Amino acid sequence: MSPTLSRRAVLAGGAALTALAATPVFAQGAADRAAIIATMKRATAFMTDEVAVGGGYVWNVLPDFSRRWGELEANPTMIWVQPPGTATMGHAFLDAYHATGDEQFYDAAKSAADALIAGQHPRGGWNYVIDTAGEASLRKWYDEVGGNAWRLEEFQHYYGNATFDDAGTAEASQLLLRVYLEKRERKYRAPLDKAIQFVLDAQYPNGGWPQRFPFVEGNGGLHGNPDYTPYITFNDDVAGENIEFLLYAHQALGSNDRRLVDAIQRGMDIFIATQQPMPQPAWGLQHFPDTLKPAPARTIEPQAFATHTTATNIRSMIGFYKLTGDRKYLARLPEALDWLDQVRTPQNLIAPGRTHPTFILEGSNTPVYIHRRGSNIRNGHYYADDNPTNLIVHYGSFRNLDTAAIRREYEEAAALDPAALIAASPLKARAGTFKLPKYFTLKDVGVWDMSTDGRRPRPVAAGRAAELAAGLNARGYWPSPLTTTSNPYRGPSPEAVTGGEYQTTRVGDLWDTSPYNTDFPVECVSTEVFVRNLGDLIEALAAPAA
């Protein structure tokens, strides 16, 4: 549920960077292998030696380390599990090791894995964050920063368990798998096995996965006060991420453990079971585990069908057909596509990026839109109605779905020979036949990238390595614009509405600790920029000589 971070180019950085650009190694605009690796090593050293906390990372830090952020502002002792946090950095370091063979990068990847292991839930998964100062410090942060983040309900309550949201557990599990496979160090096998077992234990018999696990007695969940975290979750591709990780583990470990294949099969079949009957053959963000009907979640997510989730699930089921050759995954997809065409945004509301309302009520095909009133978590309130104006801006009430393209994907898949699909399937092949992709951060890799390098489809631009070497400042980081910020915690939010109207703002009053976009970005050190730039340098290593 994390916001998309800025993809803007790295800041130039002034005269010092201009001086670096003229160094002899890059004077002609081309970089040799040694120079590229030197840049990678210097940037990595800054991250591991100065930015990391116990081997882990948040998303952005100020250069003087006075403030730091993940999805929310973090304590100095905290690291982030949500991408692009600790596991993302570990994957990038391991990618650099695969590209160079330099042990500095392997050691950095292990440090990230060690940080995740230190914060791993006893059952095997991960929360969004880890506080290296301990449980009391984390609970205090939840009470103060999380508890006053008006729009981020997933941080307003400390459950003490782990989450599948935002691929944090999946990405961390994948990193442990990769680090273990690299040199088969025994200390990584037990945490890896625990992560695999967590995914298996959390799965319902019908194949669905909840958002959080284990369920906590008296603190939300199935056996306590009802909340949304035990519902079968499709939001943020929870099921798809778990299926992918289990398939990686099945193949890469050479495991003949039928539990993995069974869990994958049931995980795919829940997509069929939760697709609703005609005339609304769609899916919600989450579904009740017993009735399999769409269920509500956060107050910005009403009990309704979700058009973008329906589109994502259609694509997932096309992938399941390619994995299995079983046409049951294609059988009702035309119905879902026809429904998406039927509920397109009304013509009077058509605008760029507004092909579909996000939410459609069960039983009526009526669109509903999300609003709020108040100024902070204490006096504020979210609600849904049929008014398409004055909408919240931090969660889209409209989506842009290319149903024609999805229909073409379906038709192309339906024309494929099931026998040929089975012959090439990493699910149907004997365990150990396929290897993990060589790289995990150069692009968004998936199961079809197994036994490949996982490279980007296009080579890095000529001169990019020289540009990145020039952009690395004297301290060893790429100065980046901090385009989001937040109000520091200043005490409990007041009962009275303060400061004006916040219907269409990303943040409420001064007591709201939610992040918001700023028109006055300051310089920061960004893990996202680091990972992207390290990937560019890895790609540059493979570029043909000029």
User: 355-392 pLDDT, tens per residue?
Assistant: 999 999 999 999 999 999 999 999 999 999 999 999 99
Domain membership flag for residue 1: no
pLDDT of residue 1: 45
Q: For the packed helices 103-118 and 168-183, what is the interaxial angle rounded to 10 degrees?
A: 130
**Per-residue pLDDT at 221 exceeds 60:** no
Pairing of strands 212-213, 162-163: antiparallel
Separation CA 371–CA 360 (nearest Å): 15
Amino acid at 244: E
Q: Tens digits of per-residue pLDDT, 67-101? A: 999 999 999 999 999 999 999 999 999 999 999 99
Structure-block tokens of residue 373: 């009133």
User: Cα–Cα distances in Å, from 429 out to 215, 437, 450?
Assistant: 35, 16, 12
Q: Tens digits of per-residue pLDDT, 300-311? A: 999 999 999 999
Domain membership flag for residue 434: yes
pLDDT of residue 255: 81
376 — alpha (psi -120 to 50), left (phi > 0) or beta? beta
Question: With contact defined as beta carbons under 8 Å apart, do 70 and 89 qualify?
Answer: no
Separation CA 42–CA 40 (nearest Å): 6
Q: Tens digits of per-residue pLDDT, 35-71? A: 999 999 999 999 999 999 999 999 999 999 999 999 9
CATH of the domain at 471: 1.50.10.20
List the single range of 220-229, 317-326, 411-420 with lowest mean pLDDT.
220-229
Q: What pTM was computed for the model?
A: 0.93
Domain membership flag for residue 37: yes
Separation CA 538–CA 546 (nearest Å): 17
Burial of 518 (0-12, 13-18, 19+ CB in 10 A): middle
**Per-residue pLDDT at 439 exceeds 60:** yes
3-state DSSP of 273-310: HHCCCCCCCCCCCEECCCCCCECCCCCCCCCCEEHHHH
pLDDT of residue 353: 76
Range 344-360 average pLDDT = 85
Separation CA 203–CA 209 (nearest Å): 5
Structural domain boundaries enclosing 273: 15-542
The reply to whether omega before 214 is within 30° of 0 (cis) is yes
Domain membership flag for residue 7: no
Domain membership flag for residue 500: yes
Range 134-153 average pLDDT = 97
pLDDT of residue 6: 28
pLDDT of residue 256: 79
Domain membership flag for residue 6: no
Averaged confidence pLDDT in the chain: 92
Structure-block tokens of residue 276: 């609703």
List CB contacts of 364: < 8 A, sequence separation 6 or more. Answer: none
CA geometry: angle 148, 81, 11, nearest 5 deg: 85
Confidence of residue 4 (pLDDT cuts 50, 70, 90): very low
pLDDT of residue 379: 96
**Per-residue pLDDT at 26 exceeds 60:** no
**Per-residue pLDDT at 204 exceeds 50:** yes
Confidence of residue 31 (pLDDT cuts 50, 70, 90): low
Q: Tens digits of per-residue pLDDT, 252-288? A: 999 878 999 999 999 999 999 999 999 999 999 999 9
Q: What percent of the chain has pLDDT over 90?
A: 88
Question: With contact defined as beta carbons under 8 Å apart, do 216 and 159 qualify?
Answer: yes
Domain membership flag for residue 183: yes
Domain membership flag for residue 177: yes
Question: With contact defined as beta carbons under 8 Å apart, do 245 and 239 qualify?
Answer: no
**Per-residue pLDDT at 320 exceeds 50:** yes
**Per-residue pLDDT at 529 exceeds 50:** yes
User: Cα–Cα distances in Å, from 177 out to 55, 62, 251, 298, 326?
Assistant: 18, 32, 11, 32, 29
**Per-residue pLDDT at 24 exceeds 50:** no
Structure-block tokens of residue 526: 């960004």
538 closest CA partner among 182, 93, 83: 93
**Per-residue pLDDT at 23 exceeds 60:** no
Give the number of domains in the chain: 1
DSSP assignment, residue 348?
Answer: G
**Per-residue pLDDT at 352 exceeds 80:** no
Separation CA 272–CA 274 (nearest Å): 6
> Which residue reads 């035309």 in tokens?
334
- DSSP states of 128-188: SEEETT-HHHHHHHHHHTGGG-TT-GGGSS--SSEE-GGGHHHHHHHHHHHHHHHH--GGG
